[in-house]
Amino acid sequence: MTRLTYRFRDASLAQLALTHRSAGKPNNERLEFLGDALLGVVVAELLYEVHPNASEGELSRLRAQLVNGQALAVIARELELGDELKLGPGELKSGGFRRDSILADAFEAVVAAVYMDGGFAACRETVRNLFEQRIAAIPRSSKDAKTRLQEWLQARGLALPLYELKDSRGEDHAKTFDVSCEIVEPTPINAEGHGGSRRAAEQDAAEIVLRQLQELKL
């Protein structure tokens, strides 16, 4: 992981963090579970510092924008984690190293591996370095992505989005949900979001649709 600022003392932890369950056991599922919690704590701390007047609801929505599956996959790509993933033959053949959900899970596992290798201070510093600029750049909004998308469509007299649960997988303590968000007007868009709950996955999908609408400048 040459693009990660942290340097592992125990290389086996880094290797484990990048081993997908399709490659057999041991794999990164347990680290992913731990990393998800660690990310939540450190990002929440940063948001608390940066937005001293924000309500609990606003802070929760901002955190959801920063730690959803697509956002974490972007960071994983910046760190080039996909190039180092260990996948089973099926996932390798289907291009699993490019899939958002796999990349996001790997990033969470890497965060946990840093914690296991260097302690909480090292983990906190690593996460803060990756998120400080993102938090400074993210627009503060009192409305979540689903609400913003609904209002955007309603303001133009267009049909509301359709959300559909596509898949849920993983152990009960660390499930991942895949939800699609589809709109037919003003142009057909079908985006898939991922999250640790169905609601989080819906928010992720709505955020992607909003971003695509903004790019189209409609």
User: Which CATH number belongs to the domain containing residue 75 in this structure?
Assistant: 1.10.1520.10
Catalytic residue at 36?
yes
Binding site residues, as ranges? 32, 105, 108
User: Is pLDDT of 49 > 60?
Assistant: yes
Give 106-126 pLDDT, tens digit per residue. Answer: 999 999 999 999 999 999 999
As a whole number of angstroms, the distance between CA 158 and CA 152 comes to 9
Q: Check whether residue 113 and residue 93 sit in a common domain.
A: yes
Binding site residues for Mg(2+), as ranges? 32, 105, 108
pTM over 0.95: no
Q: Check whether residue 184 and residue 101 sit in a common domain.
A: no
Q: Check whether residue 15 and residue 120 sit in a common domain.
A: yes
Catalytic residue at 108?
yes
Q: Check whether residue 154 and residue 118 sit in a common domain.
A: no
Q: Check whether residue 161 and residue 87 sit in a common domain.
A: no
User: Is pLDDT of 182 > 70?
Assistant: yes
Confirm whether 131 is domain-assigned: yes
Task: Give every CB contact of residue 189 below 8 A, 6+ residues apart in sequence.
Answer: 182, 183, 209, 212, 213
Q: Check whether residue 108 and residue 17 sit in a common domain.
A: yes
Q: pLDDT band for 218, please (50, 70, 90 cuts).
A: low
Active-site option among 58, 78, 83, 108: 108
Task: Give every CB contact of residue 138 below 8 A, 6+ residues apart in sequence.
Answer: 62, 65, 66
Q: 147: buried, middle or exposed (CB in 10 Å: 19+, 13-18, 0-12)?
A: middle
Confirm whether 4 is domain-assigned: no
- Domain hosting 110: range is 11-137
Q: Check whether residue 133 and residue 149 sit in a common domain.
A: no
Number of domains in the chain: 2
* Token pair in block for residue 31: 């680290």
Q: Check whether residue 107 and residue 208 sit in a common domain.
A: no
Q: Check whether residue 117 and residue 45 sit in a common domain.
A: yes
The predicted pLDDT at position 92 comes to 78
Q: Check whether residue 15 and residue 81 sit in a common domain.
A: yes
Q: Check whether residue 104 and residue 58 sit in a common domain.
A: yes
Q: pLDDT band for 140, please (50, 70, 90 cuts).
A: low
Domain end among 137, 155, 185:
137
As a whole number of angstroms, the distance between CA 158 and CA 178 comes to 25
The predicted pLDDT at position 38 comes to 96
Domain end among 90, 110, 137:
137
Active-site option among 36, 178, 192, 207: 36
Q: Check whether residue 195 and residue 117 sit in a common domain.
A: no
| pLDDT average, residue stretch 14-19 | 95
CATH of the domain at 161: 3.30.160.20
